[in-house]
Amino acid sequence: MPKKIKSARAPKIKPINNFLIMFVLSLFQITTGFIAANCGKEFEPKVIISLLSLVAVEWMYLIVFYTALHRRNFELEIIAFFLCGVGLVTMGSISPDAAFKQLLMVIAGVIIYTVMVFLLGNVDLCMKLRIVVAVAAILLLMANVILAKATNGARNWLTIGGENGITIQPSEFVKIAFIFVGSATLEKIQTTKNIIAYIAFSLVCVGSLIIIKDFGTALVFFFTFLIIAFMNSGDIKTIGLAVGSAVMGAAIVLKYKTYVKNRFAAYRHVWDYADSQGWQQTRVLVGMASGGLFGLGIGNGNVRNVYAAMSDSIFGVICEEWGFIFGIAMILSFVCIAVSALVNSIASRSAFYSIGAVAGAGMLLFQTGLNIFGITDILPLTGVTIPFVSQGGSSMMACWAILAFIKASDVRTYSYLGGAKKK
């Protein structure tokens, strides 16, 4: 009698120890915070206070949701906290006041993220809200077009409460609406009416951004639209047609709009314009090269003196002072977010979650690429920021909200409820 062959068992994968990783992250943040606080002429307590406050927020979030809601999937939050910490340390070494303000925006972002995750758990409610959100986004963009004043050639900022009031960037909040409306609209029965409605909404968004000359954000929106359109149709020909139309439109704009053409005159020729349009990029390139693999040390670089060192050029500061290897680690962090979104989308409960996760991750990754390739002259400089890292309250809150779409697609997120709230 032949012997029975035992079936091979699949190897058990141990879950990630979130508390151990958070401990290592906290140690890293506190250590780099002390270095940043001591890099100036005098010790800056605001820097270390900001980092200690961030660590406190991280542990509070982990403990509350681990114990109260029994969540075990904190990979996304840990990556986001890591990136936020790098941004805070870098800003603190340049301007302690800026680091403290950014801390407040991180806290606001975490709150928005938490609310969004709960909201996205109720698919039926999201379906009902999609039109309201779309109208609100259009009104916000219209207010931007009409009321915003030009800053560095673009009219993408609104000031509420006079000169000393609160400054917001409406397009950052419209990013949330763009993904939300696209996911919710295409979750419904995919009729021609629904698809045309979303295309019209997309055209209004991108067109408004072009009017206010925010070309970088317009590119981010267009790329996100391509992701959503592909996930809806699965037809590469449709995507090719959309890209072809966009390229033709861009060519027409460059031919007849002189100010746009002049803006990109230095592209691939930054060394020829080293004292004018290419000043920022040439300094960043020199600084990144001088940093080598392991960097010059926090506070020892020269890129920190370049225009927009805490926003557009912050990746150059990080590569020069932290090293090229650390810069690669930052990029891989965004790749991990994208991979997580793809994995989650396969097992997600509906198209709403799949589209939202992939579109959100694509938006974050594409924006990161635009920034890094822009300051290194691989692509035209568009002025977009690095998510979670660059200075900017509107951007920080929007990034955390976008991350919520990826979190919501993970089947583990709502396991304490037995799944998403859906009738």
In the predicted structure, residue 17 carries a pLDDT above the cut 90:
no
pLDDT at 406: 96
Encode pLDDT of 315-330 as tens digits: 999 999 999 999 999 9
Q: Once rounded to an integer, what is the mean pLDDT over residues 9-32?
A: 80
- In whole angstroms, what is the distance from residue 36 CA to residue 303 CA? 15
Q: What is the distance, to the nearest Å, from the Cα of residue 364 to the centroid of all Cα atoms in its chain?
A: 4
- In whole angstroms, what is the distance from residue 141 CA to residue 62 CA? 36
How far separated are the first and last CA of the chain, in Å rounded? Answer: 55
Per-residue burial over 138-150, b if 16 or more Cβ lie within 10 Å, else e, is bebbeebeeebee
Whether the full predicted model's pTM is greater than 0.95, yes or no, is no
pLDDT at 422: 45
User: In this structure, what is the dihedral angle of CA atoms 35, 39, 44, 45, given to the nearest 10 degrees?
Assistant: 10
Domain ranges of the chain: 18-417
Q: Once rounded to an integer, what is the mean pLDDT over residues 207-235?
A: 83
Per-residue burial over 77-99, b if 16 or more Cβ lie within 10 Å, else e, is bbbbbbbbbbbbbbbbbbbbebb
In the predicted structure, residue 115 carries a pLDDT above the cut 70:
yes
In the predicted structure, residue 256 carries a pLDDT above the cut 50:
no
Stretch among 24-38, 136-150, 238-252, 342-356 having the lowest mean pLDDT: 238-252
- In whole angstroms, what is the distance from residue 137 CA to residue 134 CA? 5
Closest CA to 160 of 420, 394, 409: 394
Q: Once rounded to an integer, what is the mean pLDDT over residues 317-344?
A: 95
Encode pLDDT of 55-79 as tens digits: 999 999 999 999 988 888 899 999 9
> How does DSSP assign 157-204, residue by residue?
-EEESSTTSEEE-HHHHHHHHHHHHHHHHHHS---HHHHHHHHHHHHH
pLDDT at 166: 79
Q: Once rounded to an integer, what is the mean pLDDT over residues 80-91?
A: 97
pLDDT at 62: 95
In the predicted structure, residue 373 carries a pLDDT above the cut 90:
yes
Q: What is the distance, to the nearest Å, from the Cα of residue 391 to the centroid of all Cα atoms in its chain?
A: 12
Higher pLDDT among residues 48 and 417, named by residue = 48
Stretch among 21-25, 118-122, 233-237 having the lowest mean pLDDT: 233-237
Asked if 168 and 158 count as a contact pair (C-beta separation under 8 A), the reply is yes
Mean pLDDT across the chain: 85
122 — phi, psi (to 5°)? -105, 90
Percent of the chain with pLDDT over 90: 54
In the predicted structure, residue 101 carries a pLDDT above the cut 80:
yes
Angle between helices 314-322 and 75-94 (to 10 degrees): 90
Q: Once rounded to an integer, what is the mean pLDDT over residues 394-407?
A: 96
In the predicted structure, residue 86 carries a pLDDT above the cut 70:
yes
Q: What is the band of 10 on the pLDDT scale with cuts at 50, 70, 90?
A: very low
Helix (H) or strand (E) holding 6: none
Higher pLDDT among residues 9 and 167, named by residue = 167
Higher pLDDT among residues 57 and 418, named by residue = 57
Angle between helices 170-187 and 215-233 (to 10 degrees): 10
The DSSP 8-state label assigned to residue 417 in this structure reads: G
pLDDT at 53: 97
